[in-house]
Structures are given as C-alpha cells and as structure tokens.
C-alpha cells in the first residue's frame, strides 16, 4: 500500500494530484480517492485500508469540510499515521488557484507552496516510518496476572502477530517468543512460560504441523492440563495423528472470516479465556 494518504475536498483535487505527482517522483507512493478507488468494491473499506497502511496522511483542510472529509479525518486521527494538516480557503476571483497553505503563513496553494508541502513530507517521512513501526510493534506480556501462551511457527510470524495484536488491543495478556537471547536453554525457557501460563492458543498451519518444537509445546501444554484454543490460520489439513488428539478441542478458523470483529467475537467466546483479559477493555485500531 502507499505510504502517503491525501485527504482533500473536490476543489483541492488539482493540488492533491500535484502533491502526489511530486512525491511519487521522489519514490514515495501516494493514495488518492480520485485515482485509486475501485468503485466495484467497498468504498469505506478501501479508504480505511489506505489510511491505516500510510505512514503520513496529508489533510488539505477546507473552510467547510464535508461529512465525508470529516469521517476521513476521524479515521486518520484514530490510526497509526502521522497527520499533517494544511489550512485552505476558497480562491479569490483574482487568483487562478484553489486554496491557501498554512505552512507558508501567507499566499495560496500554488505550485511553489505545494512544493513546500512535498518538501515537508520528505523531511518527515523517515521519522514517521519509525513512529509507525514502534506503535505497531507488539510486546510479549510480562507480569504476574494470568496470561495466554501463544504457540506458533516462526514461519507464520506475520499472520500470527497480526492476530495477537488484535487480542492485545481487546485487553488480553499474551506471551510469545519473540527471540531468545543467545545462551538461553530453549526447552527450559519455553517450558517455564507454559507452566506459568493459564491458557494456550496454538496457531495451526502446515508450518506448525511440521515443527517438532511446536508439537512439543502443544504436547507439554496438554500434559500440564492447560486450557487450549486452536486457531487455524490456513486451510491446511491436520495430520491424522493430530486429528485424533485435537479434534475435540475448541477451534476457530481465522482464514474463513472476512469480518475480523466476528473472528475475535468467536475466539473470545472460548471457555476460560476471559481469565487472561484485563478488567477494562483496551481500545485502539482494528488489526
């Protein structure tokens, strides 16, 4: 997805397109409704996806924003994107322009002022990338409250961390192995965290089935009589031996849900999982 999202009204379209042209000449991808929207698909979902994937959102603020523009602004403000706002005003009859940029302090959004906006974006893009990466990073739980042990194949890390992030935003305490320090005894380290945990979620896939470490984690959790929730992250067939051992356990097929809220609603209904949830729900962006 594009790194820069541009929120604008119709009479700012020429400026938005010029900003896009200059940024893309510098190698920074942009997303514009007028250019990039697919009218055959859900409009709101496309805008939401574009905003959430961006690292900078430019808001060309008109004097009287439409409801659509205000909705976009609220979405930007609730997302992990750096927002850059530029005040605009209608052009006078004397000027062949469409708005005014707040950065310059005077004048209208002309070619020169648009270039100033582009320069400001280029100055801030690296910092915005770092901020977004830091905000979106997830951390394993550390504390004394009941927590979930996440068992997964590191080959599935991207999918699994996305799901874990969603659980954490909904208030669940989850521990996961994000990399063990050199010299640490892996077996002891993992066994200790499984013993301390109050629940295990196993993220199943072909990669999981093929990992002896993952199978050992699952077997140890069952030996410890830990409550288990199986989340299938791919439509991979369960090996016959595992079918025999796991077919009566609680399971949710993540890959089959188009609506992530419905997936989390189903997963969070698993018996006993609430013991690992904070008393007050944590809010934030969707995963």
Give the model confidence (pLDDT) of 160-177 as tens digits: 999 999 999 899 999 998
Does 123 have pLDDT greater than 90?
A: yes
Please tell me the predicted confidence (pLDDT) of residue 245.
61
Does 101 have pLDDT greater than 60?
A: no
Q: Same CATH fold, 148-276 and 4-136? A: yes
Question: Residue 180: which pLDDT band, with cuts at 50, 70 and 90?
Answer: low
- Identify the residue whose tokens are 């629940």: 199
Encoding tokens for residue 90?
Answer: 């209608």
Question: Residue 248: which pLDDT band, with cuts at 50, 70 and 90?
Answer: low
Could you tell me the CATH superfamily of domain 4-136? Toll/interleukin-1 receptor homology (TIR) domain (3.40.50.10140)
Question: Residue 103: which pLDDT band, with cuts at 50, 70 and 90?
Answer: very low
Residues 76, 128 contacting (CB under 8 angstroms): no
Does 157 have pLDDT greater than 60?
A: yes
Assign 94 to helix, strand or coil: coil
How wide is the angle at C-alpha 175 spanned by C-alphas 173 and 180, nearest 5°? 160
Residue 253, phi then psi, degrees to nearest 5:
-100, 95
Residues 287, 159 contacting (CB under 8 angstroms): no
Q: Which of 29-38, 104-113, 174-183 has the lowest mean pLDDT?
A: 104-113
Question: Residue 98: which pLDDT band, with cuts at 50, 70 and 90?
Answer: very low
Q: Summarize the confidence of residues 176-205 as an average pLDDT.
A: 83
Highest mean predicted confidence (pLDDT) among 22-36, 206-220, 235-249: 22-36
What percentage of the chain exceeds 90 in pLDDT? Answer: 61
Can you give the residue ranges of every domain in the chain? Answer: 4-136, 148-276
Encoding tokens for residue 110?
Answer: 């002309």
Residues 228, 221 contacting (CB under 8 angstroms): yes
Encoding tokens for residue 101?
Answer: 């940029």
Domain 148-276 has CATH 3.40.50.360: no
Please tell me the predicted confidence (pLDDT) of residue 185.
67
Maximum C-alpha span of the chain:
81
Give the N- to C-terminal CA distance of the chain in Å, as an integer: 16
d(CA 204, CA 253): 9
pLDDT, tens digit (0-9, with 9 covering 90-100), for 40-97:
999 899 999 999 999 999 999 888 889 999 999 999 998 889 999 988 765 554 444 4
């Amino acid at each position: 997805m594009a790194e820069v999202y541009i929120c604008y009204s119709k009479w700012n379209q020429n400026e938005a397109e010029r900003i896009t042209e200059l940024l893309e000449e510098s190698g920074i991808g942009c997303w514009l409704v007028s250019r990039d929207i697919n009218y055959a698909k859900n409009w709101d979902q496309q805008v939401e996806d574009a905003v959430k994937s961006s690292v900078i959102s430019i808001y060309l603020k008109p004097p009287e924003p439409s409801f659509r523009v205000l909705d976009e602004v609220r979405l930007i403000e609730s997302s992990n994107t750096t927002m850059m706002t530029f005040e605009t005003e209608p052009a006078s009859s004397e000027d062949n322009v469409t708005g005014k940029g707040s950065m310059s302090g005077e004048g209208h959004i002309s070619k020169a002022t648009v270039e100033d906006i582009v320069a400001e974006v280029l100055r801030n893009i690296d910092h915005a990338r770092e901020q977004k990466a830091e905000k979106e990073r997830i951390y394993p739980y550390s504390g004394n409250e009941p927590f979930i042990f996440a068992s997964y194949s590191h080959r599935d890390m991207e999918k699994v961390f996305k799901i874990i992030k969603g659980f954490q935003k909904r208030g669940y305490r989850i521990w996961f192995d994000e990399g063990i320090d050199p010299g640490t005894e892996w077996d002891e380290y993992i066994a200790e965290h499984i013993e301390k945990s109050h629940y295990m979620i196993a993220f199943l896939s072909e990669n999981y089935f093929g990992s002896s470490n993952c199978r050992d984690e699952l077997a140890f959790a069952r030996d410890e009589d830990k409550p288990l929730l199986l989340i299938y992250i791919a439509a991979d067939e369960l090996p016959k031996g595992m079918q025999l051992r796991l077919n009566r356990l609680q399971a949710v097929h993540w890959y089959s849900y188009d609506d992530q809220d419905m997936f989390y609603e189903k997963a969070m209904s698993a018996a006993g999982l609430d013991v690992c949830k904070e008393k007050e729900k944590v809010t934030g962006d969707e995963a």
